Chain A
Amino acid sequence: MEEKLILFKNRKRFGIEKNIDIIFKNTTLVLSSLVAIVLFGIILVVFFQSFESFSRYGLNFLVTSEWNPVKDEYGAFTAIYGTLVTSLLSLLITIPLGVGTAIFITEDFVPKFVREIVGSFVELLAAIPSVVLGLWAIFVMEPFFREFFVFLHKFFGWIPLFSSEPAGRNSLLAIIILVVMLLPIVTSIARDSLNQVPKKLRNASYGIGASRWKTIFSVILPAALSGIMAGVLLALGRAMGETMAVTMIIGNSNVFSWSLLSPGYTISSMLANQFGEADGSQVSSLFYAAFVLMILSLVVNIFAQWLVKKFSLKY
């Protein structure tokens, strides 16, 4: 008995090995908490840097559109309006396109390999860097749409959104390039949630005599709605924060205009344009604008995550 116990004791781990185990565990713990530290760091740093501008202009910053470094007066209304309008309108175009494409990929209209090719093409589109899309937008897309914008202004000029002479670079071009960038996000998330709808729902619907599209509209899409909504919100967050392609094509003007055909501004393009050469209270105002952008995208993202948790499919 005594001998056996000694044997057992001898086979216990050495102290050093135990320590390594504990050190390893704690290292990974620290590394994973770095995520939270970075996240809070970003929020705190941007908030404190914007404090000077915040205390001077308060919430007026959000509703005035004067941006004058010479007179030292700052208001970000044009940029905030531009951010909201470009992201919401581009999303409005992207949702039907993206969901339609996702339906095309998940239904069997065409052989499987064609659908797989379409699916991977759309996903590869997401891999193209936004600055390259911006370059393409400047030199290929803008000349292509020029005539169309003239037409749009001529015949729909009575609508405030098209009321100005089309400028070479304008908000509408930014919306179009945003559609190109959001399409892969909406499509791939909509496809995943459509794929998750159980087959028996579809079969039940076919079984009681519903046609294919009746089934899609009344059974499949409602069942996949929460996933699609979450994808749409993620795309909205991306659209608001998207910088390069928009900066290159939107025209970067701080003069407020309702018209989409005149140059505009978004918060992120304002940051991209001015941050490098700003000084004094302009820097603080830019940080304030960055803070607004961050809060907007945080709210959208957190809401999307909540939506996924709350309404995720339970079959």
Chain B
Amino acid sequence: MNSLYYQKKLSRNVGDKFFTSLSVFCALIAILPLIFVVTYILIKGGAQITPELFTLEPNPPGDDLDAGGINPALIGTLVITTIASIIAIPVGVGGGIYLAEYSKGGPFSKFIRFGVNVLAGVPSIIAGVFIYALIVSTKILFGSMYSGFAGGMALSILMLPTVIKTTDEGLKLVPNELRYASLGIGASMYTTILKITLPTAFRSIATGVVLGIARAAGETAPLIFTALFSYYYIVGFEDLFYEMGSLAVLIYNFALEPYDAQNKLAWAASFILVISILTVNIFSRIFAAFTEKTKRV
């Protein structure tokens, strides 16, 4: 007679409660690492932030108590990611334009899309191995071996699939009416793409590309034997063709040092790296949510 009421002790209700709490438990465990990692980096890294950190060279590990700063690594990360972007963005956007605008879904474009996905799955250290074989060991770049330029090329291989994918998908979202209108009033294909479709898709492409750059900035594996590491300031253009430090490799090298001063420097570098990457991520997320809202209206 009570069968219409919710019965707590019914096995299906008990089972439901159990699995619901299990799923809540999973979610709690899933967000714990981010909270722990970010907290530790804020506390341990934030404590090391001083003005000298941004201006000094790191001291070579030893019994010195003072570890110096991370200026060369900071500049190095900027330089290497810039090189990677200069290579990957034009190639990726161009390739994405072909896939979205020109290709007609034939075997070639299918193959390229497949290749993009496969390239995205290639382990990042393999990109380093490839550039090592191609550029570092052959000394093809003006006789220099390990160089910031080689590091940038290795990173660009990792950025390329992201850029192509976001361009391809961003352009596909542009309504065909815009293209017809432009072609209909006599614009050529390239004018249509450069003046109509690309600007329309600019926001989503830019968001994806910026996220790709942020991801590349934290990559270490492709750099450890292409750009290597350097303790010295980057002063001129020719430094591109010598060993170049980066925040990521600095964290790797100094985390494994037995000295406390170097470990602290690694925490400080992590602080800067994580804060900038998270900021970029959060802002692009807000930006994307904002664009989506305006689109619906």
Chain A interface (Cβ within 8 Å of chain B)?
11, 13, 17-18, 20-21, 24-25, 27-29, 31-36, 38-39, 41-42, 45-46, 49, 96-101, 103-105, 107, 109-110, 118, 120-122, 124-125, 127-136, 138-140, 180, 183, 187, 211-214, 216, 234, 237-238, 240-244, 248, 268, 271-272, 275-276, 283, 286-287, 290, 293-294, 297-298, 300-302, 304-305
**Contacts A31-B90, A237-B121 given: A109-B190 contact, CB under 8 Å?**
no
**Contacts A46-B130, A211-B16, A290-B126 given: A272-B221 contact, CB under 8 Å?**
yes
Interchain nearest-CB distance for A103 vs B (Å): 5
Chain B interface (Cβ within 8 Å of chain A)?
12-13, 15-16, 19-20, 22-27, 29-31, 33-38, 40-41, 44, 90-92, 94-99, 101-103, 109, 111-112, 114-119, 121-130, 132-134, 137, 157, 160-161, 164, 186, 188-190, 193, 214-215, 217-221, 224-225, 228, 248, 251-252, 255-256, 263, 266-267, 270, 273-274, 277-278, 281-282, 285
**Contacts A28-B95, A134-B255, A180-B33 given: A35-B112 contact, CB under 8 Å?**
yes
Nearest residue (CB) in B for A96 is B26
Residue from B29, B160, B274 in contact with A35 in the complex, judged by beta carbons closer than 8 Å: B160
Chain B contacts for A35, CB-based, 8 A: 95, 112, 115-116, 119, 160-161, 164
Interchain nearest-CB distance for A137 vs B (Å): 9
**Contacts A34-B91, A36-B115 given: A45-B130 contact, CB under 8 Å?**
yes
A interface majority secondary structure:
helix
Chain B contacts for A110, CB-based, 8 A: 24
| Contact yes or no, A242 B123, CB < 8 A | yes
Q: What are 23 of the A-B contact pairs (CB < 8 Å)?
A: A28-B95, A32-B95, A32-B98, A35-B112, A36-B115, A41-B134, A104-B27, A118-B27, A118-B31, A121-B31, A122-B34, A128-B34, A135-B266, A138-B256, A211-B16, A272-B221, A272-B224, A275-B128, A297-B122, A301-B121, A302-B118, A304-B121, A305-B118
**Roughly how many angstroms separate A243 CA and B12 CA in the complex, as a whole number?**
45
Residue from A101, A127, A301 in contact with B281 in the complex, judged by beta carbons closer than 8 Å: A127
Nearest residue (CB) in A for B194 is A24
| Contact yes or no, A132 B123, CB < 8 A | no
Interchain nearest-CB distance for B96 vs A (Å): 8
| Contact yes or no, B94 A31, CB < 8 A | yes
**Contacts A28-B95, A128-B274, A248-B252 given: A121-B121 contact, CB under 8 Å?**
no
Nearest residue (CB) in B for A24 is B190
Chain A contacts for B13, CB-based, 8 A: 211
Residue from B92, B129, B134 in contact with A290 in the complex, judged by beta carbons closer than 8 Å: B129
**Contacts A36-B115, A131-B218 given: A241-B30 contact, CB under 8 Å?**
no
Interchain nearest-CB distance for B119 vs A (Å): 5
Of A101, A122, A287, chain B has the most CB atoms within 10 Å of the CB of A101
| Contact yes or no, B129 A287, CB < 8 A | yes
Chain B contacts for A124, CB-based, 8 A: 34, 278, 281-282
| Contact yes or no, B125 A132, CB < 8 A | no
**Roughly how many angstroms separate A180 CA and B96 CA in the complex, as a whole number?**
32
Interchain nearest-CB distance for B115 vs A (Å): 5
**Contacts A97-B26, A122-B34 given: A243-B121 contact, CB under 8 Å?**
no
| Contact yes or no, B118 A298, CB < 8 A | yes
| Contact yes or no, B220 A45, CB < 8 A | no
B interface majority secondary structure:
helix
**Roughly how many angstroms separate A138 CA and B252 CA in the complex, as a whole number?**
11
**Contacts A31-B90, A268-B221, A302-B118 given: A287-B133 contact, CB under 8 Å?**
yes
Q: Please name 9 further chain A to chain B contacts, defined as beta carbons within 8 Å, in addition to the given A39-B115, A127-B215, A211-B12, sorted by A numbering.
A: A35-B119, A46-B126, A96-B26, A104-B24, A109-B23, A128-B278, A241-B125, A271-B129, A275-B225
Chain A contacts for B278, CB-based, 8 A: 124, 127-128
| Contact yes or no, B248 A272, CB < 8 A | no
**Contacts A132-B270, A132-B273, A213-B16 given: A25-B26 contact, CB under 8 Å?**
no
**Contacts A38-B157, A128-B274 given: A213-B19 contact, CB under 8 Å?**
yes
| Contact yes or no, A27 B123, CB < 8 A | no
Chain A contacts for B96, CB-based, 8 A: 32
| Contact yes or no, A243 B255, CB < 8 A | no
| Contact yes or no, A248 B255, CB < 8 A | yes
Of A32, A214, A287, chain B has the most CB atoms within 10 Å of the CB of A32
| Contact yes or no, A183 B123, CB < 8 A | no
| Contact yes or no, B274 A132, CB < 8 A | yes
**Roughly how many angstroms separate A125 CA and B40 CA in the complex, as a whole number?**
14
**Contacts A134-B252, A213-B15, A243-B220 given: A271-B98 contact, CB under 8 Å?**
no
| Contact yes or no, B190 A21, CB < 8 A | yes
Interchain nearest-CB distance for B231 vs A (Å): 16
